[in-house]
Amino acid sequence: MQKIEAVIQPSKLDAVKDALVEIGVQGMTITEARGHGRQKGHTEFYRGREYSVDLLPKVKLETVVSDEMLDKAVAAIIGVARTGTIGDGKIFVTKIDEAIRIRNDERGEMAL
């Protein structure tokens, strides 16, 4: 089982969710986040005051999928989240040792 952590533009969230659901991913966790990569901050002037954003709003999406599903899921995310400009985000993949469904104690891929 593999965990996918994707940091994406907030405006892409709905599209990414839909794309994952469409290929059969059953669950995910969404977090409001802030961050930056090589994308520079943004400065806005308002009434003589400078408002600079070093940390831009992002959304972190986490989901755990079976090994077979991994490539499809990653491709689905990239497919809708990519715009080709700096700030598109990143995807990280880690191996998961165990998954357990709290309600009925199902384990392994059954729990996904």
Partner 1 sequence: MPEKEIPEDGMCGEYQQKMLAIRAAFEAGASGRATVAARAEAMDKLVAGLWAQAVRQTPTLGQGIALVALGGYGRRELFPYSDVDLLYLLDGKASEQEVKQPIRRVSQALWDCGIRLSPQTRRRSEAEKFEPDNVEFALALLDHRLLAGDAAVYEKFAGTGLPRMLEKEHRAIATGLATLTAERHRKYGDTLFHLEPSIKDCPGGLRDVHVCAWLATLEKTDTPGEKADSGWAAGEREEFEQAVEFLFGVRCFLHYRHERDDNTLDWQAQDAAAKVWMGMERRRAAREGPAPDAAYWMRLYFRHARIVERRLTHMLEESAVKPPPGRWTAVGRAALARVRRRPDGPTAGWRLEHGRAVLSAAGTGVAGDPAQDPEVVLPLFAAMSQTGATLDRASEMRVSQALPVLSAHLEEGPALWMHLQEILLGPYAGKTLRAMHALGLLELLIPEFHGIDALVIRDAYHRYTVDEHTMVLIDTLHGLESGQASPMGEWADRFGGLLRDVQHQALLYLAALLHDTGKGRSTDDHARESARMAESVAGRLELDAYESELLLGLIRNHLEMSAALRRDIFDLETVRAFSGKVQTPEALRMLTLFTYADIAAVHPDALTPWKAENLWRLYLATSNYLDRSVDDERVGARVGRELVKRVVAVMPERRAEVAEFLEGFPERYLRTRTPEQVRLHFEMAERFAADRVQIEFRYSAETSEITLVTPDRAMLFADMAGALAAWGMNIVTADAFSNRQGVVVDNFRFTDTFRTLEMNASEHEAFVASVHDVMAGTAPVEKLLAGRRRSGRKAPLVEVETRVDFDDEASTHSTLLQVVAQDMPGLLRAVSQTLAGQGCNIEVALVDTEGETAIDVFYVTRGGGKLDGEQEAELKDALLAAIAANAG
Interaction site with partner 1 (CB under 8 A): 9-11, 13-14, 32-34, 42, 44-48, 51, 53, 56-57
Residue 20 contacts residue 73 (beta carbons within 8 Å): yes
Helix (H, G, I), strand (E, B) or coil at 104: coil
In the bound state with partner 1, the residue whose beta carbon lies nearer, of 59 and 64, is: 59
In the bound state with partner 1, the residue whose beta carbon lies nearer, of 98 and 102, is: 102
Residue type at position 81? A
In the bound state with partner 1, the residue whose beta carbon lies nearer, of 57 and 108, is: 57
- Tell me how far, at minimum, the Cβ of 49 lies from partner 1, in Å: 8
In the bound state with partner 1, the residue whose beta carbon lies nearer, of 22 and 50, is: 50
- Tell me how far, at minimum, the Cβ of 61 lies from partner 1, in Å: 15
- Tell me how far, at minimum, the Cβ of 63 lies from partner 1, in Å: 19
Displacement of CA 22 from its chain's centroid (Å): 16
Helix (H, G, I), strand (E, B) or coil at 43: strand
For residue 61, the tally of other CB atoms under 10 A from its CB is: 24
What does the DSSP 8-state code read for residue 11?
G
